Amino acid sequence: MKSFPFIRVWEGCDLNIAKAVRQFQDRWSPYSAASRGKRVDRLIKELIDPAVASYATSSPQRYLSYIPGAGGVVPLSEIVGLVGLNSTARLQRQLLRAFVSAQAEKSERDQQFVATLETLLDLIRSCARKPPFKSKIRDTRLNGRRAQEFCRLCGAPAELTDFILGNDNAKRDDPEDKLRLSSLYCTDHRPQLPNGEWNLAYRKAKRSIMHFDKELARLTKHSGNLDKVKVQSGDPLVDLYIYHYVHKYGLTPGDEAELRNHARRMADGKLSDRKKQMVMLLHYRISQADAARRLGIERQAVFKALTALPSEFHQLPNLSGFSVYFLTSTENTH
């Protein structure tokens, strides 16, 4: 039996909401008769709405405008009923991003609030990804119970997912009686073209898949907590680069498509860890000559590497408290 999407409860989430989400998970199954029809809406109303309302009541006033439903005035279940799961997820993501951007320094309670919003976002996204009961998709013989998610190589919807959502671009090149849509890759990254030839974009992306996976893991980890640098790469400059990059775009773990697209751009742009080190040093007013000395390379190598790097990877926000850190902690980064 195929499992339904797992709902992640983020570390630090409000205990009552965490308990309600786990109860929701236990009672939700895509293949049981109880889950058909409006079962998801009823479970949100029965379990999640009271927990969110209680949390809103006990929260500081400044939090309320970021809680879906204007501080709990409109229940989450009603929002889902009015605009649908996908639109509700987009709303929650925008509210979370706005809160993260507005808080220069987060307290422990702010971190709990972020974890709580992330948990609610994951709940709604999991509901939106719930497998359909009918195997037939639209007017085709395609199996609707196949995996439907993002492209393995980027943040675009897989061909099958795109088609289910009503986009016919995926089928435009295939005869109606031979419609084959991938559940793993998007139209741009499908392994073979309709004429049977290998897709060059697919081959290029596959060659950099290890780089893509590495950057995706880093971006996801740093986006989970924007108040401190996550140690992951083993090099402080590389971790600080990812930290600044995530701040630049206001990324959160719920931004799955955006995180994957940024990882793909990094891989395609050949943004190596060495180049990240160079960018961070120069960003905080260290000269190319000093950067080369710190990294144990020639100045000309710094110049050539940064000249070839796309400008989007140079443009990072200025964050307080880091220049002194560089002067005391990056003397031996090579």
pLDDT in tens, 69-106: 655 568 888 888 877 787 788 788 888 878 877 765 66
* 141 and 112 share one domain: no
168 inside domain = yes
User: Dihedral of the CA atoms 314, 229, 10, 246 (nearest 10)?
Assistant: -10
The whole-angstrom separation of Cα 132 and Cα 71 is: 32
The whole-angstrom separation of Cα 34 and Cα 51 is: 22
Cα–Cα distances in angstroms (integers) from residue 132 to residues 63, 83, 154, 164, 173, in the given order:
35, 19, 24, 10, 26
- Threshold 0.75, pTM exceeds: no
* 316 and 214 share one domain: yes
72 inside domain = yes
Q: Which of 128, 158, 180 is the last residue of a domain?
A: 128
69: left (phi over 0), alpha (psi -120 to 50) or beta: left
pLDDT in tens, 30-60: 544 444 445 777 888 899 999 999 998 888 8
Q: Which residues of 80-117 are buried (b: 16+ CB within 10 A; e: fewer)?
A: beeeebeebbbbbbebbbebbeebeebeeebbbbbbbb
* 90 and 25 share one domain: yes
Tokens of 229: 């640098």
Could you tell me the end-to-end alpha-carbon distance of the chain, in angstroms, rounded to an integer?
50
The whole-angstrom distance between residue 296's C-alpha and the CA centroid of its chain comes to 35
Q: What's the structural domain count of the chain? A: 3
User: Which residue bears the tokens 């040093």?
Assistant: 281
Which range (144-153, 203-212, 242-251) has the least confidence? Answer: 144-153
Cβ neighbours of 322 (radius 10 Å)? 17
At 10, is the pLDDT very low, low, confident or very high (cuts 50, 70, 90)? confident
Q: Are 278 and 286 in contact (CB under 8 A)?
A: no
- Please tell me the predicted confidence (pLDDT) of residue 329: 54
Q: Which of 94, 128, 162 is the last residue of a domain?
A: 128
* 39 and 147 share one domain: no
* 22 and 106 share one domain: yes
- Please tell me the predicted confidence (pLDDT) of residue 37: 45
- Please tell me the predicted confidence (pLDDT) of residue 272: 95
Q: Which of 199, 218, 237 is the last residue of a domain?
A: 199
Tokens of 291: 């950067």
Is 311 a residue whose pLDDT tops 50? yes
pLDDT in tens, 233-286: 788 899 999 999 998 888 877 788 889 999 999 999 999 999 999 999 999 888
Q: In this structure, what are the phi and psi dihedrals at residue 308, rounded to the nearest 5 degrees? A: -80, -10
334 inside domain = no
* 75 and 100 share one domain: yes
Domain of 65 in residue numbering reads as 15-128
